[in-house]
Amino acid sequence: MSAECADSPELLVNAGVDALVIAAATPAHARLLHMAADARLPAFCEKPIALDLAATDEVIEHVRKAGTMVQIGFQRRFDAGYRAAHDAVRSHSLGDVHVVRLATHDPKPPPEEYVAASGGIWRDLAIHDFDVAAWVLGHGIVEVYADGDAHDELFTRHGDIDAACATLKFEGGTVGVLTATRNDPRGYDVRMELFGLNDSVAVGWDDRTPLRSIEPAAQPSRAEGYRDFMERFALAYRVELQAFLEAVRSGGESPCPVTDARRALVVALAADRSVREHRPVRIEEVA
């Protein structure tokens, strides 16, 4: 098997391909998805579709009219731990889940050019938590109350924050809390904890979890924390692309459709508004 390079996305499409995988920077996503829809090509695209609802909705409408399949790259849906949590909720082995805790902590800030175009911590980083929480629980988020601050001038320059938290209310009554940071000295920390009336479980808790217990009897882990998202989710990335290829071959439905990407973006926008206005924001205000 060999690979070839094309001088532009348009030349790639014109050369004749069966599907597109879009892993460009966020500002290019919408344009490339429109191109795929025009060519009637199925496409895999990293999140988000766009940083605003207007551009997102234009893509969704174009995809709908073209009748093409698009899978958005929320890779946590394909991680073994998150899938086990999803299945545990569906099997009712946890009982009613009344509280969920989520965390995404980067080991170090990204480059400034990335921060400038990222859309901020909610749309770039925490959007994964918004998506996977709703997917695992089977209930959408209806309200968010968020706050945060910038401890690095890099983020202040771009109107962003590097340490954030949010409380979430879900359909059905579950409540949640989320923390998001751009600087964790012990490594890349991504976790989800579900507290049900019958059982409590955690995703992302193993000997590489970058958290040190200071209880007297605790034994320190000898393994280093995960260095980055590529290392933590290496298998999940492969599994999600395999799912995309299988959907293309079979003509099946998208495992993560564009409408799900919109729902996660709406929550991120609500969180952003909540920080600015210092109040809880109902999702319907943004959607």
Residues 70 and 257 sit within 8 Å (Cβ to Cβ): yes
SS3 271: helix
Q: Residue 25: give its domain's CATH number.
A: 3.40.50.720
Residues 93 and 198 sit within 8 Å (Cβ to Cβ): yes
Q: Are residues 89 and 51 in the same domain?
A: no
Question: For residue 1, is pLDDT > 70?
Answer: no
pTM over 0.75: yes
Q: Are residues 138 and 31 in the same domain?
A: no
Residue 270 lies in a domain: no
Q: Are residues 89 and 226 in the same domain?
A: yes
Q: Are residues 145 and 211 in the same domain?
A: yes
Q: What is the pLDDT of residue 50?
A: 97
Span 91-109, average pLDDT: 97
Question: For residue 2, is pLDDT > 90?
Answer: no
What is each CA distance from 221 to 28, 53, 104, 188, in whole angstroms? 41, 44, 20, 15
Q: Are residues 40 and 17 in the same domain?
A: yes
Residue 147 lies in a domain: yes
CB atoms under 10 Å from CB of 285, counted, come to 13
Residue 268 lies in a domain: no
Query: What are 165-213's pLDDT values in tens digits?
Result: 999 999 999 999 999 999 999 999 999 999 999 999 999 999 999 999 9
Residues 168 and 141 sit within 8 Å (Cβ to Cβ): yes
Beta-carbon contacts of 95 under 8 Å, excluding residues fewer than 6 positions away, are 196, 197, 198, 199
Domain that holds residue 161: 76-232+279-286
Q: What is the pLDDT of residue 221?
A: 84
Q: Are residues 176 and 45 in the same domain?
A: no
Residue 274 lies in a domain: no
Q: Are residues 18 and 143 in the same domain?
A: no
Residue 271 lies in a domain: no
Query: What are 210-234's pLDDT values in tens digits?
Result: 999 999 998 888 889 999 999 999 9
Q: Are residues 43 and 66 in the same domain?
A: yes
Q: Are residues 156 and 59 in the same domain?
A: no
Q: Are residues 98 and 214 in the same domain?
A: yes
H or E segment to which residue 202 belongs: strand 200-203
CA–CA distance, 184 with 275 (Å, rounded to integer)? 22
CA–CA distance, 217 with 213 (Å, rounded to integer)? 9
Residue 2 lies in a domain: no
Q: Are residues 253 and 223 in the same domain?
A: no
Residue 162 lies in a domain: yes
Total domains in the chain come to 2
Q: Are residues 91 and 187 in the same domain?
A: yes
CA–CA distance, 272 with 269 (Å, rounded to integer)? 5
CA–CA distance, 97 with 236 (Å, rounded to integer)? 25
Question: For residue 70, is pLDDT > 70?
Answer: yes
Q: Residue 199: give its domain's CATH number.
A: 3.30.360.10
In 3D, which of 12, 23, 11 has the Cα closest to residue 230?
A: 23
**Residue 3: is it exposed, middle or buried by C-beta count within 10 angstroms (0-12/13-18/19+)?**
exposed
